Amino acid sequence: MNLKELSLGKSAVITKVGGEGALRQHFLDMGVIPGAEVTVVKYAPMGDPVELQIHGYELTLRLSDAEKIEIAEIQDRKNKHERITKIDSSEHPGLGEDGKYHAKTDGEELPEGTLLTFALVGNQNSGKTTLFNKLTGANQHVGNFPGVTVDRKDGPIINFPGTLVTDLPGIYSMSPYSSEELVSRNFVLSEKPKAIINIVDATNIERNLYLTMQLLEMDVPMVVALNMMDEVRGNHGSIDINRMEALLGVPVVPISAAKNEGVAELIRHAVHIAKYQEKPVKQDFCQKEDHGGAIHRAIHAVESTIEDHAEKAGLPLRFATTKLMEGDGIIAASLNLDDNEKDMIEHAIVQMENESGMDRSAAIADMRYDFIERVCEQSVVKPAESKERIRSEKIDSVLTGKWTAIPFFIIIMAITFLLTFNVIGPFLQDILASGIDMLKEAVEAWMIRAEVNQVIQGLVIDGIFEGVGSVVSFLPIVVTLFFFLSIMEDSGYIARVAFFMDKLLRRIGLSGRSIVPLLIGFGCTVPAVMSTRTLPSRRDRRMTILLTPFMSCTAKVPIYAFFVNAFFPGRGGFIMTGLYILGILVGILVAHVYKNTLFKGEAVPFVMELPNYRMPGAKNVLQLLWEKAKDFLTKAFSIIFLATIVVWFLQSFDTHLNLTADSSKSIMAVFAGVLVPFFKPLGLGDWRVVTSLISGFIAKESVVSTMEILFAGNIATALTTATAATLMVFSLLYTPCVAAVAAIKRELGMKYALCLVLWQCALAWIVAFATRLIVR
Ligand code: GDP
Ligand code: MG
């Protein structure tokens, strides 16, 4: 029997995990291991994926993946270990009186003035962002990890000069499954932080400790921050901290990041272990009793075989051993083993597989979970069913209910868009615009008084203020949209949306999580592209970015409205809806093309945690808004600044580089003239139309304003209904504006951005041409 066949509400114990490679490793890392008990909680409204409960948390899985997992049905869930096997306790390195850290007088203290670097590592939704903000306050630096567009934030701990905490991406394991996992692992291995702060969600302790096990093997001084203790206590659970410290061999500090409890003590411990370089005292998690000692013996055999190689490669020995045994190709390559050694290792592993009856990856995962279960048996008193869990179930009965999920999703998105684009956004936009206007007038008045050169005046007023100003005026919309999105994300709703939209998006080669950027795309491509950062896989991220421009953004609405008014009075709603649908259809078509060419291979498997709903922290949200605003402004004042200067120059000068008032003589008009033949077949071979479209590259709104100026109000004489339709279709599909292209460039690089511009223009031309043939 496999997991797909298990019916709703029933429980089973996993007997075998199929699948292969990285995906299978990911299953194992998420706790889907032989011997684990699962319960089917719910099917998504469209029947796929399925929500499961495993190791006390909620996990989603596609049916096609569930099919690979074999199970045996059981009546009641029970704990795996009937009798407690004791783990040897060991005092953690900084332990002193009453389990508190002690001020050392001897020991190898790092030299005075060494920068104490900390890596903040933990699962997604464990409260990492919250803790990071508490540790560093507002004093942080945001950038990217070198070579990859994964956010990197670092900053010194408040009141502790000479420290630097880096917030690593949320991960479940140290296997190189997602780009985030690889980034985190490489950070610890090559940047060698002085210590690790491992944040653990105490309400979901088993799954979280799985990562802790691997971090301990990395042999870096470490402190465990047990977060969400307020919830554990609130549900009458408790954790014997001293016992857990003794079992894990590192300091454990109970905290509540959201309530700022225990953070000061955490900092003291962290600084202490970093300063005295107190490494974890325990790395040996394999038990002699388990599976007749098969795993234990194999690990130690492999360990002694690779000892010198690991040292040469600069890898922590125990970490290299278990990763090698799991079949990690990257580690295997860097160890540089000769054939004889490879053979010996293979023999040891095969022996282990035969004796334990499990394959290598499963055996290692099983060893870790066994240890974790023993730790928890001895130190954790679990609450029966937490208030938060019950509350989440109630909310979910509506928000992911069979008949209610999609309607509620539409309502929530509609409210978000309404508030962003019609209420709060424009309100803030007006304030900002009048601010910019006042500044502009002041600067203009000053320049006139100071008798600044006319050309410079033109550049500053018509170029910079118009261009950069029009982009900056998007800021309120971007910030407002992110406000709502970050609330949805932090509360846990986005994970649910991904859960019930997965089936639809899979058809075009994406996974459920891509729905959010695509929806934002209907508002504005810039925040849409920025929001793809939350996607777990690089392939999905790239494909999603390249699809967002097909979602017709709000800046195109004025274009449609203008032509509908002039050529199709009374049929506005019909035509506008048609255009939106056309955009989506072309997007779907293009997605199919991408799926079979650029982005071949599997859509990422949809193995995702559904965290309990939580109240988002105000500080987190504000911090995020501030980052996004800063990000956006930096861009506006760099790339867009340059672009506007170029366009202003092309519009204001003729080919002899004289300032010209007659726009038909400007370089732009000449340039547009070159492009006119391309637009002839579309019936748009008028340089004024072409110029307007070019100006639309700066901002889609300016297509209409440019046309109004150039045609001086008699547009009807230049176009017919057929060519107006063609023009609308072309506007719908051609290159995104420069702000969007800049955002895309930041995520994907220049090559992709340029190709996208050309590709969309070509596509727009083709579809527009087809439109012309159809509409007569
Ligand atoms: P990240 O995904 O690891 O960065 O987690 P976040 O910092 O975004 O936190 C996820 C959610 O948990 C947010 O809604 C936080 O407000 C909430 N949260 C974080 N720390 C605590 C805590 O100590 N107690 C409680 N009750 N909630 C917390
Ligand atoms: Mg976060």
DSSP for 205-234?
HHHHHHHHHHHHHTT--EEEEEE-HHHHHH
Query: What distance lies between CA 41 and its chain's CA centroid?
Result: 26
SS3 label, residue 433: helix
Query: What distance in angstroms lies between residue 588's CA and the mean position of ligand 1's atoms?
Result: 36
H or E element, residue 73: strand 69-74
Query: What distance in angstroms lies between residue 768's CA and the mean position of ligand 2's atoms?
Result: 43
pLDDT digits (tens, 9 = 90+) for 32-61: 988 889 999 999 988 889 999 998 889 999
Query: What distance in angstroms lies between residue 130's CA and the mean position of ligand 1's atoms?
Result: 6
Read off the pLDDT of each residue in 103-119 and give the average, rounded to a whole number: 78
Query: 288: which DSSP letter?
Result: S
pLDDT band at 609 (very low <50, low <70, confident <90, very high): confident
Residue type, 112: E
Query: What distance in angstroms lies between residue 398's CA and the mean position of ligand 1's atoms?
Result: 23
Query: What distance in angstroms lies between residue 124's CA and the mean position of ligand 2's atoms?
Result: 7
Which ligand is the nearest neighbour of the Cα of 128?
Answer: 1
* The pLDDT value given to residue 183: 85
Nearest-atom number in ligand 1 for the CA of 259 is 23
Residue 66's region, left for phi above 0, alpha for psi from -120 to 50, else beta, is alpha
> What tokens does 645 get?
């200067």
Contact predicate 468/636, CB 8 Å:
yes
Query: What distance in angstroms lies between residue 624's CA and the mean position of ligand 2's atoms?
Result: 10
Contact predicate 36/56, CB 8 Å:
no
Whether 495 is in the pocket of ligand 1, judged by its Cβ within 6 Å, is no
Higher local confidence (pLDDT), 240 or 473: 240
Whether 128 is in the pocket of ligand 1, judged by its Cβ within 6 Å, is yes
Nearest-atom number in ligand 1 for the CA of 614 is 14
- The closest residue, in CA terms, to atom 19 on ligand 1 is 127
Whether 170 is in the pocket of ligand 1, judged by its Cβ within 6 Å, is yes
Read off the pLDDT of each residue in 477-492 and give the average, rounded to a whole number: 84
Nearest-atom number in ligand 1 for the CA of 616 is 14
Nearest to 541 by CA among 513, 561, 579: 513
Is the pLDDT reported for residue 307 higher than 60? Answer: yes
Whether 379 is in the pocket of ligand 1, judged by its Cβ within 6 Å, is no
Is the pLDDT reported for residue 82 higher than 50? Answer: no
- The closest residue, in CA terms, to atom 5 on ligand 1 is 127
Residue type, 207: R
Is the pLDDT reported for residue 470 higher than 80? Answer: no
Handedness of CA 469, 472, 474, 476 (dihedral sign): negative
- Helix pair angle (294-313, 339-356), 10° resolution: 150
Read off the pLDDT of each residue in 484-499 and give the average, rounded to a whole number: 87
Dihedral of CA atoms 746, 637, 435, 652 in degrees, nearest 10, equals -110
Q: Which residues pair with 313 in a beta bridge?
A: none
Contact predicate 400/44, CB 8 Å:
yes
Whether 373 is in the pocket of ligand 1, judged by its Cβ within 6 Å, is no
**What φ, ψ does residue 177 adopt, rounded to 5°?**
-90, -55
- Helix pair angle (557-567, 572-596), 10° resolution: 130
Read off the pLDDT of each residue in 6-32 and give the average, rounded to a whole number: 87
Whether 169 is in the pocket of ligand 1, judged by its Cβ within 6 Å, is no
* The pLDDT value given to residue 663: 72
H or E element, residue 381: strand 380-381
Whether 126 is in the pocket of ligand 1, judged by its Cβ within 6 Å, is yes
| 683/680 Cα distance (integer angstroms) | 5
Is the pLDDT reported for residue 431 higher than 50? Answer: yes
* The pLDDT value given to residue 392: 93
| 758/766 Cα distance (integer angstroms) | 12
SS3 label, residue 149: coil
Query: What distance in angstroms lies between residue 129's CA and the mean position of ligand 2's atoms?
Result: 4
Read off the pLDDT of each residue in 672-678 and give the average, rounded to a whole number: 90
Is the pLDDT reported for residue 460 higher than 90? Answer: no
Q: How many CB atoms lie within 10 A of CB 472?
A: 20
H or E element, residue 724: helix 721-733
* The pLDDT value given to residue 81: 45
Whether 614 is in the pocket of ligand 1, judged by its Cβ within 6 Å, is yes
Query: What distance in angstroms lies between residue 181's CA and the mean position of ligand 2's atoms?
Result: 15
What's the Rg (C-alpha) of the chain? Answer: 30
pLDDT digits (tens, 9 = 90+) for 681-701: 998 888 888 988 988 887 787
Read off the pLDDT of each residue in 262-284 and give the average, rounded to a whole number: 91
Query: What distance in angstroms lies between residue 582's CA and the mean position of ligand 1's atoms?
Result: 41
> What tokens does 542 get?
């790239």
Contact predicate 553/524, CB 8 Å:
yes
- The closest residue, in CA terms, to atom 7 on ligand 1 is 127
* The pLDDT value given to residue 48: 87
Nearest to 481 by CA among 441, 424, 435: 424
| 508/516 Cα distance (integer angstroms) | 15
> Which residue of 57, 125, 227, 233 sits with most ligand 1 atoms within 8 Å of its CB, as the best mutation to test the pocket?
125
Whether 258 is in the pocket of ligand 1, judged by its Cβ within 6 Å, is yes
Query: What distance in angstroms lies between residue 534's CA and the mean position of ligand 1's atoms?
Result: 16
Query: What distance in angstroms lies between residue 157's CA and the mean position of ligand 1's atoms?
Result: 19
* The pLDDT value given to residue 399: 94
- The closest residue, in CA terms, to atom 6 on ligand 1 is 127
Identify the residue whose tokens are 């610890």.
188
Whether 386 is in the pocket of ligand 1, judged by its Cβ within 6 Å, is no
- The closest residue, in CA terms, to atom 14 on ligand 1 is 616
Query: What distance in angstroms lies between residue 616's CA and the mean position of ligand 1's atoms?
Result: 7
Nearest-atom number in ligand 1 for the CA of 130 is 7
Query: What distance in angstroms lies between residue 193's CA and the mean position of ligand 2's atoms?
Result: 21
For the chain, percent of residues with pLDDT exceeding 90: 42
> What tokens does 438 get?
């006042």
Whether 257 is in the pocket of ligand 1, judged by its Cβ within 6 Å, is yes
37-43 and 116-122 strand pairing: unpaired
Identify the residue whose tokens are 């998105």.
413
Q: Where are the alpha helices (DSSP H) in 4-147?
A: 21-29, 63-66, 128-136
> What tokens does 727 get?
């023009």
Q: Where are the alpha helices (DSSP H) in 473-521?
A: 475-491, 493-506, 515-521
H or E element, residue 304: helix 294-313
Identify the residue whose tokens are 């304030």.
431
Higher local confidence (pLDDT), 280 or 85: 280
Is the pLDDT reported for residue 606 higher than 80? Answer: no
Whether 153 is in the pocket of ligand 1, judged by its Cβ within 6 Å, is no
* The pLDDT value given to residue 601: 67
Contact predicate 120/289, CB 8 Å:
no
| 12/72 Cα distance (integer angstroms) | 5
Query: What distance in angstroms lies between residue 279's CA and the mean position of ligand 2's atoms?
Result: 27
pLDDT band at 132 (very low <50, low <70, confident <90, very high): very high
Burial category of 341 from C-beta neighbours within 10 Å (exposed 0-12, middle 13-18, buried 19 and up) = middle
Whether 155 is in the pocket of ligand 1, judged by its Cβ within 6 Å, is no
> Which residue of 130, 261, 392, 619 sits with most ligand 1 atoms within 8 Å of its CB, as the best mutation to test the pocket?
130
Which ligand is the nearest neighbour of the Cα of 255?
Answer: 1
- The closest residue, in CA terms, to atom 9 on ligand 1 is 127
Nearest-atom number in ligand 1 for the CA of 126 is 3
Whether 127 is in the pocket of ligand 1, judged by its Cβ within 6 Å, is yes
Nearest-atom number in ligand 1 for the CA of 261 is 23
Contact predicate 498/513, CB 8 Å:
yes
> What tokens does 548 get?
């967002």
Query: What distance in angstroms lies between residue 614's CA and the mean position of ligand 2's atoms?
Result: 13
